[in-house]
Amino acid sequence: MTGFVHPATADITLAGVLGALADPVRLKLLKKLLEKRHGCLSCTEAAAGAEMPKSTLSHHFRILRDAGLIRTEKLGVENRNRVRWEDLNERFPGLLVAIMKFQS
Protein backbone atom coordinates (compact mmCIF):
# COMPACT_ATOMS: atom_id res chain seq x y z
CA MET A 1 0.00 0.00 0.00
CA THR A 2 1.30 3.43 -0.96
CA GLY A 3 1.48 6.06 1.75
CA PHE A 4 0.91 9.72 1.02
CA VAL A 5 3.47 12.40 1.75
CA HIS A 6 2.11 15.65 3.16
CA PRO A 7 4.28 18.69 3.78
CA ALA A 8 4.56 19.91 7.35
CA THR A 9 2.61 23.08 8.10
CA ALA A 10 5.83 25.11 8.29
CA ASP A 11 6.84 23.85 4.82
CA ILE A 12 3.67 25.09 3.07
CA THR A 13 4.63 28.08 0.94
CA LEU A 14 2.49 30.85 -0.47
CA ALA A 15 4.07 30.34 -3.89
CA GLY A 16 3.23 26.62 -3.77
CA VAL A 17 -0.39 27.25 -2.74
CA LEU A 18 -0.98 29.94 -5.35
CA GLY A 19 0.83 27.91 -8.01
CA ALA A 20 -1.36 24.88 -7.34
CA LEU A 21 -4.52 27.00 -7.46
CA ALA A 22 -3.49 28.77 -10.67
CA ASP A 23 -5.03 25.86 -12.59
CA PRO A 24 -8.83 26.30 -12.93
CA VAL A 25 -9.46 22.57 -12.46
CA ARG A 26 -7.62 22.51 -9.13
CA LEU A 27 -9.35 25.68 -8.02
CA LYS A 28 -12.72 24.05 -8.77
CA LEU A 29 -11.68 20.90 -6.90
CA LEU A 30 -10.73 22.95 -3.86
CA LYS A 31 -14.01 24.85 -4.02
CA LYS A 32 -15.90 21.55 -4.28
CA LEU A 33 -14.01 20.22 -1.25
CA LEU A 34 -14.83 23.33 0.77
CA GLU A 35 -18.51 23.03 -0.14
CA LYS A 36 -18.81 19.35 0.89
CA ARG A 37 -20.71 18.95 4.15
CA HIS A 38 -18.43 16.15 5.40
CA GLY A 39 -15.36 17.82 3.91
CA CYS A 40 -14.11 14.80 1.96
CA LEU A 41 -14.00 14.08 -1.74
CA SER A 42 -12.71 11.07 -3.63
CA CYS A 43 -11.65 10.93 -7.26
CA THR A 44 -14.84 8.96 -7.96
CA GLU A 45 -17.00 11.73 -6.49
CA ALA A 46 -14.98 14.45 -8.23
CA ALA A 47 -15.28 12.62 -11.56
CA ALA A 48 -19.09 12.64 -11.45
CA GLY A 49 -20.02 14.77 -14.44
CA ALA A 50 -16.37 15.56 -15.25
CA GLU A 51 -15.06 14.87 -18.70
CA MET A 52 -11.59 13.82 -17.65
CA PRO A 53 -10.12 10.48 -16.65
CA LYS A 54 -9.71 9.60 -12.99
CA SER A 55 -5.96 9.45 -13.55
CA THR A 56 -5.97 13.14 -14.49
CA LEU A 57 -8.03 13.96 -11.40
CA SER A 58 -5.55 11.97 -9.29
CA HIS A 59 -2.77 14.10 -10.76
CA HIS A 60 -4.60 17.30 -9.77
CA PHE A 61 -5.17 15.95 -6.25
CA ARG A 62 -1.43 15.15 -6.02
CA ILE A 63 -0.54 18.74 -6.95
CA LEU A 64 -2.95 20.04 -4.28
CA ARG A 65 -1.49 17.58 -1.74
CA ASP A 66 2.13 18.49 -2.58
CA ALA A 67 1.28 22.19 -2.12
CA GLY A 68 -0.15 21.41 1.34
CA LEU A 69 -3.74 22.29 0.45
CA ILE A 70 -5.24 18.85 1.08
CA ARG A 71 -4.64 15.71 3.12
CA THR A 72 -5.30 12.36 1.45
CA GLU A 73 -6.19 9.24 3.42
CA LYS A 74 -6.89 5.74 2.23
CA LEU A 75 -10.38 4.50 3.13
CA GLY A 76 -11.04 1.04 1.74
CA VAL A 77 -10.31 1.27 -1.99
CA GLU A 78 -10.79 5.04 -2.15
CA ASN A 79 -8.46 7.91 -1.48
CA ARG A 80 -10.35 10.53 0.53
CA ASN A 81 -9.18 14.13 0.18
CA ARG A 82 -9.79 16.83 2.79
CA VAL A 83 -8.75 20.51 2.89
CA ARG A 84 -6.06 21.27 5.47
CA TRP A 85 -8.08 24.21 6.72
CA GLU A 86 -6.45 24.56 10.15
CA ASP A 87 -2.91 24.20 8.80
CA LEU A 88 -3.50 26.74 6.04
CA ASN A 89 -5.16 29.20 8.39
CA GLU A 90 -2.26 28.87 10.81
CA ARG A 91 0.24 29.49 8.02
CA PHE A 92 -1.71 32.09 5.99
CA PRO A 93 -4.68 33.42 8.00
CA GLY A 94 -7.72 34.18 5.82
CA LEU A 95 -6.08 33.12 2.55
CA LEU A 96 -8.58 30.38 1.64
CA VAL A 97 -11.54 32.61 2.45
CA ALA A 98 -10.10 35.39 0.27
CA ILE A 99 -9.35 33.03 -2.61
CA MET A 100 -12.81 31.46 -2.55
CA LYS A 101 -14.50 34.87 -2.22
CA PHE A 102 -12.96 36.11 -5.45
CA GLN A 103 -13.05 32.81 -7.35
CA SER A 104 -15.32 33.09 -10.37
pLDDT digits (tens, 9 = 90+) for 81-90: 899 999 999 9
| Number of compact structural domains in the chain | 1
pLDDT of residue 78: 82
C-alpha torsion angle, residues 102, 15, 47, 37 (rounded to 10): -60
Q: What are phi and psi of 36, to 5 degrees?
A: -70, 130
Is 58 among the domain residues?
Answer: yes
Specify if 71 maps to a domain.
yes
Q: What is the CATH number of the domain that holds 72?
A: 1.10.10.10
Asked if residue 1 belongs to a domain, the reply is no
Structure pTM?
0.86
* Residue 98 domain boundaries: 11-102
Label residues 25-39 b or e (16+ Cβ within 10 Å = b): ebbebbeebbeeeee
| Residue 47 pLDDT greater than 80, yes or no | no
Q: How many CB atoms are closer than 10 A to CB 100?
A: 14
- Short-list 70, 78, 6, CA closest to 32: 70
